[in-house]
Structure 1
Amino acid sequence: MAAAAWAVCLICFVSVHAAGFADGAMPEERFFRTLHAGTYTDIHTIVPLADGGMIAGGLAYNSGGVENGILVRYDADGEAVWEQRFTGDVIPAVIESGDGVYSGITYMTPLTYASHAAYENVTGTSTLFSVTGDGDILYVAELDNARASDIRAAPDGGVMVTGWLWVTDDGYAGFLSKYAADGTFEWTVTYPGLIPHALIMAPDGGWILAGATTPLPETPTDGWMLRTGSDGTEMWRQTYPGTAAFTVLDTPAGGYLVGGGTQSLVSYTGDAWFMLTDETGARISSSQPGGVALYDSAEMPGTGYVFAGKWADSGALLFVGYDGGEFGVIVRDDADGRLNTVTVAGETIVAGGWERISSNIKGVIIGYPVPEGPAQTTVPTTLPSPTQTPGFAAAACCAGIFGAALLLGRR
């Protein structure tokens, strides 16, 4: 397994253009790592490890190459331990599916780098794979005609995969599939007309899916959230017109936090939005904080939530309290880029994506300390009372968060 070119900065000092967190202090980078493994390298998923290291997956695109999916293990010092390549364009998600076993998905579409006008004819395949902690491949299973988007561990040691089918009699169709621990297919359920982007286990069992109604760019879409039983049978569904949901978390209050944008995923345009819901997915409060879209989210225990996304042409992290109030944003505005993924390991936020560095598009992994949230973001015992939806009025919503913006300079 060849090692990709990499670099690491354990402590990077940055300039602060404005302050907006509770104590007025900008979280300072704990580390900054880059991965340059192709013409275009992009981190889409990160799994923190117990030894302080991590496994990162994403894209290492080379023109004409077929093994563009890349998986890299780093030790606690940021050294690349091993690298694996997989057939496909991107590894969008990886999880720890067993003791020292990691499962992930890839997808390949011939038009990933084609013009948007060609997307109406797009097709493709995906794979499900599993590796050991040493990077040895245990299995690779093909998902024909599918675009896999997310994966979660099942209670019995298997895995659940969601995504959508490119061509069916009814057009696009979302799916939820179950696989055994050895990659053997067990069952699948389809949801016509839905494009799932996110999957989590429901707090009391079953599954929560969230997504959009089109995979095509520059096409009207409605966001949605769907609850299933353990066998994939639909139990309820909520729709959020004019949006697309890319990430979902369950909240300590018993509801859900949903984030995304107002355009489909591949558009990389539109307006970011997020909302809190009750346990049935009914919207309680929502906000359009500025920025283009929110692609991933993680809970900061005792503080609230952090979203990874894009603000104008740069990657960003948005900080939100348990009550849905925004209390800070870091915009990495010295370079074009995007943050696709975020996770929390102890007291460290770890985000990944890409940045254009010295004319090269490199994958980046960035660490920040978990900030101190404002006093009002203590964990609620019940959800807040339903309030009128802001209606995504950009001027009113953006004023609050930009007043608290942290614009982060870089090398």
Structure 2
Amino acid sequence: MGSIMKRASFLVVVILLGEGDLYAQAPDTLWTKTYGGINDDIGLSVEQTSDEGFIITGWTYSFGAGGSDAFLIKTDAEGDILWYKTYGGPADDNGFSVQQTSDNGYIIAGGTYSFGAGDKDVYLIKTDSLGEVIWVKTYGGGLADWATSVQQTADGGYIICGTTGSFGAGQLDVYVIKIDSLGDTIWTKAYGGMNADGGNYIRQTSDGGYIIVGSTGSYGAGLYDVYLIKTDSSGDTVWTKTYGGVENDGGYCVLQTADRGYIIAAGTYSFGAGREDLWLLKTDTLGDTLWTRLYGGTEGERGYSVCQTSDGGYIIAGYTCSFGSGNFDFYLIRTDSLGDTLWTRTYGGTTSDFSYSVRQTSDQGYVIVGWTGSYGSGGDDVYLIRLGPETDVEEQLSHPGNPLPFLEILPNPSKGMARILLKPGSDADYVELKIFNVAGELVRSFSPLSPVIVWDGRDDKGRKVSSGVYFIRLSTSNLRITEKMILLR
């Protein structure tokens, strides 16, 4: 029996579980593109457009009217430029966030030194479908104010998030502006304490309110903590949460997930293996932590963007100093619904390359934007990478000579026991089976030394578990498969 553990060859069938996720393998790179001139050009936000092409914003020192200008690049589905526009004045101006609007035009949010009331102001540009300006607005006071996130809201207006030095209680505060479809202000809010606080990302939630993430030096456990704010539709605070340790921690992207909780992409100096690690946090609807995951090596990693994928997992983009070819590289991590890694990829050359925004595409592939010092025409260039769809285990099982572990679930929901049958298949150095609840907590673990494993609905301490959703995870030296089970008592 010891030989099974040492060198197991099997096909796994789980009976009385539930249909779930397939094991995803890293997709192929379909194409990469660089855009820019002889100076620096930085890409910060990408969206797939209704025609299957892409829209990108950021800032350019190569083109435009001033020091740096905001830009829009519209491409076709292959990444070839259809048109390119710059926006700005004689000083430095930039774009941080872009979205296609309901009229097929675009909304860009960023910051401007060329226009407005103060040192730096929030810069909002509304264009038509060809990038021609419909209107421009600035928002702010006498000090520095800027935007990093914009979204069209259900009423046809827009919500903007950033940081303000002009308003609020402290040195800097989270700055949120609600405007109508013409850019006229409906309300503004500042959130924070006496120290420096800033907002990085905002999204409208299913109840009509908003979720905001950033960093806070006013509250929490450390120098800076991840700062999560939930508001109602008028911007009034419903609750706030901080996450972090004694060092610097910051949140850069937040989304409401299918279960109406939240997923946050962050960076942490307080926890992990290296100087800074990429940090993924999953919360419930009230912001209470369900689980957290750390990714990285001995150097620095940070997560700037996260999306929930069509199978309930996550795709995260950021940078890594620990892995890859250069000083910094694009860092892409694909996880299951519990944040456990399915695959990771780095992209870049021998110098510095940063990814800042990732989206899942209509064909279930991915598009990532950032900037590269390794390739292109100038100092830094906009760097766009298009990945194809993932392949899964079920597809590979149909290939002769390549049998892999497979989880089949019958019936679902279930009131009975779970039987796991071991049959000949591909080689693996080890095999383990674990069961988790929806909070990501380990319920039961098995060491499959026999051809049949039975789960009696109890945890590792022999206690009966309650009705609900559970995740059955099979791990081998070759792969990991997670399946969902609904247990009814």
107 and 250 in structure 1: CA distance in 2 versus 1, 3 angstrom threshold = same
Aligned to 2:266: 211
Partner Cα separation in structure 1 for residue 224 and residue 477 of structure 2: 34
Aligned to 2:344: 286
Contact 1:47–1:54 (CA under 8 A) maintained in structure 2: yes
CA offsets per residue over residues 243-272 of structure 1, 9 Å max, x none? 2111111112221111100269xxxx7222
Partner Cα separation in structure 2 for residue 7 and residue 189 of structure 1: 33
Say whether 1:254 aligns with 2:315: no
279 and 73 in structure 1: CA distance in 2 versus 1, 3 angstrom threshold = same
**What amino acid is the match of 1:294?**
S
Aligned to 2:35: none
TM-score, with normalisation over the residues of structure 1?
A: 0.66
Match of 2:381 among 314, 325, 338: 314
**What amino acid is the match of 1:139?**
W
Partner Cα separation in structure 2 for residue 7 and residue 108 of structure 1: 20
Match of 1:72 among 110, 119, 125: 125
Contact 2:157–2:183 (CA under 8 A) maintained in structure 1: no
Query: Kindly, what percent of the aligned residue pairs are identical?
Result: 24
Partner Cα separation in structure 2 for residue 209 and residue 12 of structure 1: 29
Partner Cα separation in structure 2 for residue 296 and residue 9 of structure 1: 15
Using the TM superposition, give the Cα deviation of residue 11 of structure 1 relative to its aligned residue in structure 2, in angstroms. 8.9
Using the TM superposition, give the Cα deviation of residue 90 of structure 1 relative to its aligned residue in structure 2, in angstroms. 2.5
CA offsets per residue over residues 322-350 of structure 1, 9 Å max, x none? 3289xxxxxxxxxxxxxxxxxxxxxxxxx
Partner Cα separation in structure 1 for residue 295 and residue 304 of structure 2: 13
**What amino acid is the match of 2:85?**
R
**What amino acid is the match of 1:75?**
D
Say whether 1:184 aligns with 2:254: no
Say whether 1:137 aligns with 2:208: no
The 5 A counterparts of 1:40-119 are 40-62=92-114, 65-87=118-140, 88-108=144-164
34 and 285 in structure 1: CA distance in 2 versus 1, 3 angstrom threshold = same
Using the TM superposition, give the Cα deviation of residue 35 of structure 1 relative to its aligned residue in structure 2, in angstroms. 0.7
CA offsets per residue over residues 362-386 of structure 1, 9 Å max, x none? xxxxxxxxxxxxxxxxxxxxx9988
Partner Cα separation in structure 2 for residue 83 and residue 183 of structure 1: 23
149 and 387 in structure 1: CA distance in 2 versus 1, 3 angstrom threshold = farther
Aligned to 2:284: 229
**What amino acid is the match of 1:91?**
A
Say which one has the larger Rg. Answer: 2
Q: Which has the higher contact order (CA 8 A, sep 6+)?
A: 2
Using the TM superposition, give the Cα deviation of residue 140 of structure 1 relative to its aligned residue in structure 2, in angstroms. 0.9
SS in 1 for 2:241: strand
Which stretch shifts more, 4-13 or 149-158? 4-13
Contact 1:126–1:147 (CA under 8 A) maintained in structure 2: yes
The 5 A counterparts of 1:11-30 are 27-30=79-82
CA offsets per residue over residues 293-337 of structure 1, 9 Å max, x none? 110012211151100111111111011223289xxxxxxxxxxxx
- State the aligned residue count: 302
Contact 2:364–2:390 (CA under 8 A) maintained in structure 1: no
**What amino acid is the match of 1:82?**
W
**What amino acid is the match of 2:310?**
P
Contact 2:146–2:162 (CA under 8 A) maintained in structure 1: yes
Partner Cα separation in structure 1 for residue 474 and residue 390 of structure 2: 7
Partner Cα separation in structure 2 for residue 248 and residue 9 of structure 1: 22
Partner Cα separation in structure 1 for residue 71 and residue 97 of structure 2: 18
SS in 2 for 1:95: strand
Aligned to 1:165: 216
Partner Cα separation in structure 1 for residue 347 and residue 293 of structure 2: 22
Which stretch shifts more, 29-38 or 233-242? 29-38
Match of 1:244 among 279, 296, 302: 302
324 and 90 in structure 1: CA distance in 2 versus 1, 3 angstrom threshold = farther
Partner Cα separation in structure 2 for residue 9 and residue 234 of structure 1: 37
Using the TM superposition, give the Cα deviation of residue 89 of structure 1 relative to its aligned residue in structure 2, in angstroms. 3.8
CA offsets per residue over residues 264-297 of structure 1, 9 Å max, x none? 9xxxx72221111111111121111115111001
**What amino acid is the match of 1:275?**
I
Contact 1:124–1:166 (CA under 8 A) maintained in structure 2: no
Aligned to 1:152: 203
The two structures, once aligned, show a CA RMSD in angstroms of 3.6
SS in 2 for 1:288: strand
